[in-house]
Structure 1
Amino acid sequence: MEIHIEKCSAWCGNLRTSQDWQQWALGEMQYKDEDDLPGLKEIPAMQRRRLSKFAKLTMQCVLETLADEKETLPCVFSSRHGDLHKTSKLIEDVAKKSDLSPTHFGLSVHNAVAGLYSIFSNNKQPMTATSAGEDSLLMALVDGYAKLESRQLDKILVVYTDEIVPEKYSSYVSDAEKTMSVALLLTRQKSEYVFTLNFKPQKNKISSSIFQPLVFLSFLYGTESQVAIDSSRYQWHLSKV
């Protein structure tokens, strides 16, 4: 499949602008862990106060990517863990037999941020929430491409967000995982970023120690013409056109 990306916005540590990502991909800028969150001044304070860190990062990348769009677009939201910090707190409350907050529960599910964005932007286009383990970003691209082509859409937004998991879950994931969000505007027209994406099942399961979103952004902004990515389930191959 040939994927055209018109615009990309990503936030991870100190890497927040296209220039930051380009310099990082070229080895001219080092990644640093930073906990600063976007201001999101365009969102009313009452709505902004309800947003978790996970939701704020997602909304920042979505709004930045769609800033120049005049029409609302279909969206694919993806995450491996979802807003796990919120979910983890709910699980602890269940264990303690404490009352659960319906609001907190409603905002912990995988499609919660899609709903928040839909309300804020009055976007009534179709939206889906996907999760595919460590392959969540790349599978979201596959989903976005399938919708784009099958429905003959002009554009579709693909979003991926995850946080570093709570400490109690850290032994189950790779140390390479970072807190980050990335929004990609896919189009069927000629665009700045064009690459082919192919994948097939992994014959021999392996233990992956990479963080796919960072590998993908290094490929997108860097000079490498192609990259192979192995996960425990799939072999991916990306090649610039």
Structure 2
Amino acid sequence: MSSLMSTAPRAAPPVAQALDAHIDGVGLLGPGLSDWAQAQAVLRGDVPYDAQKTVLPVPQILPAAERRRATAVIKLTLASGLEAVAHAGLNPADLATVFTSSSGDGRNCHEICAALAGSDRLLSPTRFHNSVHNAASGYWGIATGAMAPSAVLCAFDASFAAGLLEALVQVALLRQPMLLLAYDTDYPEPLHHVRPIPDSFGVALVLAPQAGARSLARLSLDPTAPFTELPADTLNDAALEALRLAIPAARALPLLRALARREAARIVLDDLPGQQLALQLTPC
């Protein structure tokens, strides 16, 4: 298991061989987006977006003891990740993973800060082991039995782009399917005042090196300009655009919109300040 935290500008990778992968499965859970099947109709504009509070399912796949300790982050990543893997028709135990989040488990961080600010500063072991940034990856391994490599990233508001880039690199190097999980959860007050993430949002993509029977689209870095200063793509629906801006993991929405519409598109996603990530999406 590895981890990475960075905010430094990235150099463009060599473009002699473009980084690409095929999207074989999608999982999604967020405000008013209960799963990928329901979200596709919203992103296509077939039904109006209704920004209901995210409902996090109980992770029945976990053993009872771990299920009781599961935080919002664990429930979110298991729900979105298992949906994506099911769509791809793969065994989750076989997949290497990339987990990426702008700030990890906000509520658990709040509880730890509250305990340290009180007179009794004893922390429960559960609070402590859920505080590390790779907790979601660990619970994924417990739930699925996965023993494959797992990378855990954080790049603040650029975390989705950073995770996607890492997953594309891993697919190119390993030449095997990879699961990307991007997720964020809300902070209670007073931390919410300085990190106003309003709700939970998780997206998972199964990326494969070759097209298969379940492939939805081919995704690649734009070989002419993988990093650009052009502004990121936005959404026409004001409520969906507000969601994209409010939750870092929801920066994935322009990509998911193009995927739901099954359209070929050049997509520019928010990345580090002054630098966006440019992609090409080609439906299969």
**TM-score category of the 2 structures, normalised to the smaller one:** 0.7 to 0.9
Decide whether the 8 Å contact of 2:99 with 2:137 is kept in 1: yes
Give CA-to-partner distance per residue, 1:98-124, whole Å, 9 cap, x none: 111222111121101111111222211
Question: Which residue does 1:188 correspond to in 2?
Answer: 209
**Residue 214 to residue 203, structure 1, CA distance change in 2 (3 Å):** closer
Partner of 2:6: none
Tell me, in whole angstroms, the C-alpha distance in 1 between the residues paired with 2:118 and 2:228: 42
Kindly indicate whether the alpha-carbon contact (under 8 Å) linking 1:84 and 1:108 is maintained by their aligned counterparts in 2: no
Contact 1:78–1:131 (Cα < 8 Å) also in 2: yes
Aligned residues of 2:115 and 2:123 also touching (Cα < 8 A): yes
Distance 1:47 1:170 in 2: 27
Which residue number corresponds to residue 237 of structure 1? 278
Matches within 5 A, 1:8-19: 8-19=26-37
Measure how far apart 1:49 and its partner are.
1.1
Q: Matches of 1:137 and 1:16 in 2, distance apart?
A: 20
Match of residue 105, structure 2, among 49, 64, 83? 83
Q: Secondary structure at the match of 1:134?
A: helix
Q: Give the whole-Å Cα distance in 2 for the aligned partners of 1:174 and 1:226.
A: 30
Question: Residue 93 of structure 1: CA displacement?
Answer: 1.3
CA distance in 1, matches of 2:146, 2:180: 15
> 1:218 & 1:170 partners in 2: Cα distance?
28
For structure 1, which runs of at least 5 residues remain unmatched after alignment? none
Structure 1, 113-122 or 42-51: larger mean CA deviation: 42-51
Aligned to 1:212: 251
Aligned-residue offset at 1:201: 6.5
2:94 counterpart SS class: coil
* Aligned CA-pair RMSD: 2.6
The AA in structure 1 aligned to 2:281 is K
SS at match of 1:123: coil
Unaligned runs of 5+ in 2: 1-18, 232-241
1:160 to 182, 185, 210: 182
Give distance in 1, aligned partners of 2:72 and 2:166: 25
Q: How far 1:183 moved relative to its partner?
A: 1.2
Amino acid at match of 1:185: V
CA-CA distance at 1:61 after TM superposition: 1.5
With over 3 angstroms needed to count, the CA separation of the structure-2 counterparts of 1:169 and 1:202, relative to structure 1, is farther
Q: Which residue of 1 aligns with 2:14?
A: none
Q: Distance in 2 between matches of 1:203 and 1:128?
A: 29
> Displacement, 1:174?
6.5
Cα–Cα, structure 1 residues 89 and 142, in superposed 2: closer, same or farther, change >3 Å? Answer: same
Alignment of 1:1-241 (within 5 A): 1-29=19-47, 30-67=49-86, 68-70=89-91, 72-97=94-119, 98-152=121-175, 154-173=176-195, 178-190=199-211, 191-198=215-222, 199-200=226-227, 202=229, 210=245, 211-222=250-261, 223=263, 225-231=265-271, 232-241=273-282
Normalised TM-score (structure 2): 0.74
Residue 52 (structure 1) shift: 0.9
Contact 1:227/1:237 (CA < 8 Å) preserved in 2? yes
Give % identity: 25
| Shift, 1:143, TM fit | 0.6
Residue 161 of structure 1 contacts residue 182 of structure 1 at CA under 8 Å; is this kept in 2? yes
Q: Which amino acid aligns with 2:116?
A: V
Q: How many angstroms apart in 2 are the aligned matches of 1:213 and 1:10?
A: 10
Residue correspondences, number = 236
CA distance in 1, matches of 2:145, 2:269: 37
Query: Counterparts of 2:20 and 2:172 in 1: how far apart (Å)?
Result: 11
